[in-house]
Structure 1
Amino acid sequence: MTVLIIGGSGFLGAELIRQTSAAGHKTAATYATRPGDACQTVWYHLDLRDAERLDSVMAEVSPRLVINASSGKAGWAVTAQGSVRLAMAAARYGSHLVHVSSDAVFSGARVHYDESCLPDPVTPYGAAKAAAETGLLAVYPEAVVARTSLIIGDGRSVHEHAVHELAAGVRDGVLFTDDIRCPVHVADLAAALLELASSNASGIHHLAGRDALSRHELGILIARRDGLDASRLPKGLRAQSTLPGALDVRLDSQATQRKLSTTLRGAR
């Protein structure tokens, strides 16, 4: 099977390349600014705003499966419109599509969210992600939308790097005690995405870890694992900061977990 990973140079994308290659699949990956380090894949430059380039990559790769692990951040043209453009291309070429979404589509007002909950984003990024979900499922109902949470793993994530820098005193900032998420290990997430891709799944699925933790609690776990002084980690309240966004968002992944052999481990 030929797999095309959109956003292969990112943290999750790199793990998807590793796992698809290990499974013996022919793998291609795209990047927006520079290719990743993986040598098991063929790299293609792609800006999801460029419909002509997207069509060219799809025609050359002819993937059986497309996984959209790109971020695009709050950029509407990439995150929202680009994702719908990708869904239209996948449908046209007969490729199964798995789209990675985020818990940022929720406001935190109800805290616990399963797959039946409707998005109510409070940030531009969350709004773009929510629009992508709605748009791509409208044009390609057979696609999978997989919402996830904070992605960690093996010291390579942004959050783990931040904890090390804060503990060393080389970074300003705090770890919030009121910002709650359900972190998931990158290897578990990638395996679950590939398992969903190999099934007849479609629609909304949640892929998050079982433990609800504040960013400070997660930082303490990382510090203890890596032999750092957890007492050096500064803490604060997001509610008292100027950062926008939800405080407590806990993805309920039980329904999706029952369909999977991959275990979505909690951060603990």
Structure 2
Amino acid sequence: MSTAPKAERLLRASAALWYAVAVAGLWAFGAYIAALYGAGLAGGDLSRWNRVLPDGHGYVAGDMRGNLALGAHLATAFIVTLSGGLQLVPQIRARAPWLHRWNGRLFVAVAVVAATSGLFIALTRGAVAGTYMTVGNALNAALVLTFAAQAWRTARARAFVSHRRWALRLFVVINAVWFYRLGMMLWFAANQGPVGHTAAFDGPFDIFLAFAHVLLPLAILELYLAAGARGGARAKGAMAALLLVLSLATAMGVLLVAMGMWLPRL
């Protein structure tokens, strides 16, 4: 029996495994956003927003535009973690296409608001994690807006193969801030400390991660798409092995972030 079908099945299974791990981690991130920031809004205690965000970047009395932009950014970040997790489930596309369509419209719209509000905050309130991170976030916002437009255009044109690719790219870049947290905690754990990190976020690792949290997951996605579309059995098998390693790394990263960053702040 040819190894090609086996490699194809292995690639799909490993991709599904990574996606399941990622969605669980993203929903945990969404729960953290709701518990920290949503609880502050619901309870009328907006100073709770400053528990994590540094001075001038959380709730600022008198800065209505900035506070509204921050609130919109936090709300859309919460929605993205939930909506994005549902949008790429093939069973939903097949059995509830109406849900896929409306959730997709919500996801694209919210992604645009998240990107523009985040960019507005970065440009008006300054860098939270250093100048390099601001540049990386601007790149991320540009990619989100580009991929959102392409996902919308191809869906309207019913070019579903192309639409799936743009939707996957949008899913990856809109969750870049989540990848940033995982990457940082995995690096610190592997090195038993903040090697290459400075308080000003201008260390060699800080500079690398400022761009890698956007471009590295996107590059891995492109490898996956290429392997699935044009790769032979060996390429598919190698990509499947990489996804299995990434599934383990993602699970470890989520656990480290939850224990080291999210739970202590609630």
Report the TM-score when normalising by structure 1. 0.28
Structure having greater relative contact order (Cα 8 Å, sep ≥ 6): 2
The answer to which structure has the higher strand fraction is: 1
Higher fraction of helix: 2
